[in-house]
Chain A
Amino acid sequence: MELTRLNRNVRILNWAAFVTISIALLIVFFYAPTERTMGNVQRIFYFHVGAAWVGAVAFFVALVAGAVYLRRPSKKWDTVAVASVEIGLVFLTMAIVAGSVWGKPAWNTWWNWSSVRLTTITIAWLTYAAYFMLRGAIEDEEKRGRFAAVYVIAAFVTILLSYLSIRFVNDLLHPVVVGGTAEALEGQAAESLQEFAPGVESTRMVISLNASVIAFSFLYAAWMVNRIRLQRFMDEAANLKMRVVARLQGELS
Chain B
Amino acid sequence: MTALTFLIILMQGPISDPNATNNYLLLGYVVMWIIGAAYVVSLAARQRNVRQDIEMLQQLLQDDEDTAV
Contact = CB atoms under 8 A, between A and B. Distances in A.
Interface string B24-38: 110111011001100
Contact of A237 (B20, B24, B57): B57
Interface string A30-52: 00001111111101100110010
A102 B23 CA distance: 11
B9 interface: yes
Contacts of A98: 28-29, 31-32
**Which applies to chain B's interface (DSSP): helix, strand, loop or mixed?**
helix
Contacts of A35: 18
Given A98-B28, A227-B43, A243 B22 contact: no
Interface in A99-116: 101-102, 104-109, 112, 114-115
Size class of the contact patch on chain B: 35 or more
B25 A41 contact: yes
B69 interface: no
Contacts of A114: 1-2
Nearest to B39: A90
A39 B20 contact: yes
B24 to A, nearest CB: 5
Given A39-B21, A41-B24, A233 B51 contact: yes
B68 to A, nearest CB: 9
Nearest to B65: A247
Interface in A204-231: 219, 223, 226-227, 229-230
A161 interface: no
A230 B17 contact: no
Point out which of B3, B24, B27, B31 has the most chain A C-beta atoms below 10 A from its C-beta: B24
A102 B24 contact: yes
30 contacts: A38-B15, A39-B17, A39-B18, A39-B20, A41-B21, A44-B24, A44-B25, A47-B28, A47-B29, A87-B39, A94-B32, A94-B35, A94-B36, A98-B31, A105-B21, A109-B5, A112-B5, A173-B2, A191-B9, A223-B39, A229-B47, A233-B50, A233-B51, A233-B54, A237-B53, A240-B53, A240-B57, A240-B58, A244-B57, A244-B61
